[in-house]
């Protein structure tokens, strides 16, 4: 089978991580892969912020929980019942993908960059997980205040946090396409 298609089929979202950080070279390779994503008119409207400070990630997780607690969603409320639940699944590195809001297609462009990050991590034997719920606290007028130490250029909006690190538990089961 074609190795790209094989990687797409084999990649899984990892929600349990070892505490060890990815190496600087591994992180650089993952971020570089994100830069090679396609974008409308080659605008490349993304910005990547890698956060590796556990105290900052724990604080961000608490802020995510506070925002999610206000939502009226039974699945989210159930998840929040577990006091050990961490918004980033305790990933030692979180890459926050932000996009310039003045770019017409920044949402899809950042999604393409995120997919490249996920596939690059997988190709290096590193676990990763796109954490869409965790993007909520970064949005809106207070987003920057909620995320000190996670600077993004003015006018950018956080789109996709991605947890990155060594897989700590069992591998996620393969989901059938279209299986919900």
Q: What are the pLDDT digits (tens) for 94-148?
A: 999 988 888 999 899 999 999 999 999 999 999 999 998 887 766 654 444 445 5
- Whole-number pLDDT of residue 141: 47
Asked whether residue 178 is assigned to any structural domain, the reply reads no
**Is 128 among the domain residues?**
yes
CATH of the domain at 81: 3.40.109.10
Tokens of residue 41, six digits:
């008119």
Please list the residues that pair with 162 across neighbouring strands: 95, 130
Res 46 pLDDT > 70:
yes
pLDDT band at 177; cut points 50, 70, 90: low
Residue 138 CA to residue 151 CA, distance in Å, equals: 11
- Evaluate if residue 1 carries a pLDDT over 60: yes
Distance CA 34, CA 129 (A): 14
| 50 touches 137 (CB < 8 A) | no
Cα 150 from Cα 60, distance rounded (Å): 10
Whole-prediction pTM: 0.87
Q: What is the tally of structural domains in the chain?
A: 1
In a domain, 120, yes or no: yes
Tokens of 150: 């996670």
What is the span of the domain harbouring residue 121?
3-165
Contact between 97 and 151 under an 8 Å Cβ cutoff? The reply is no
Q: Would you state the structure tokens that stand for residue 177, as one six-digit string? A: 């396409």
Please report whether residue 180 resides in a domain. no
């Amino acid at each position: 089978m074609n190795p790209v298609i094989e990687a797409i089929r084999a990649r899984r979202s990892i929600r349990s991580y070892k505490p060890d950080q990815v190496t600087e070279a591994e992180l650089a390779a993952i971020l570089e892969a994100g830069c090679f994503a396609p974008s409308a008119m080659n605008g490349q409207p993304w910005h990547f912020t890698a956060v590796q400070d556990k105290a900052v990630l724990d604080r961000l997780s608490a802020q995510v929980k506070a925002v999610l607690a206000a939502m009226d969603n039974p699945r989210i409320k159930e998840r929040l019942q577990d006091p050990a639940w961490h918004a980033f699944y305790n990933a030692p590195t979180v890459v926050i993908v932000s996009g310039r809001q003045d770019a017409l297609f920044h949402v899809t462009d950042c999604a393409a960059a995120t997919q490249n990050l996920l596939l690059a991590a997988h190709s290096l034997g590193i676990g990763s997980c796109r954490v869409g719920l965790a993007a909520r606290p970064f949005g809106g007028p207070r987003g920057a205040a909620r995320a000190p130490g996670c600077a993004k250029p003015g006018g950018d909006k956080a789109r996709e946090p991605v947890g990155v690190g060594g897989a700590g538990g069992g591998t996620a089961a393969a989901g059938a396409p279209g299986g919900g």
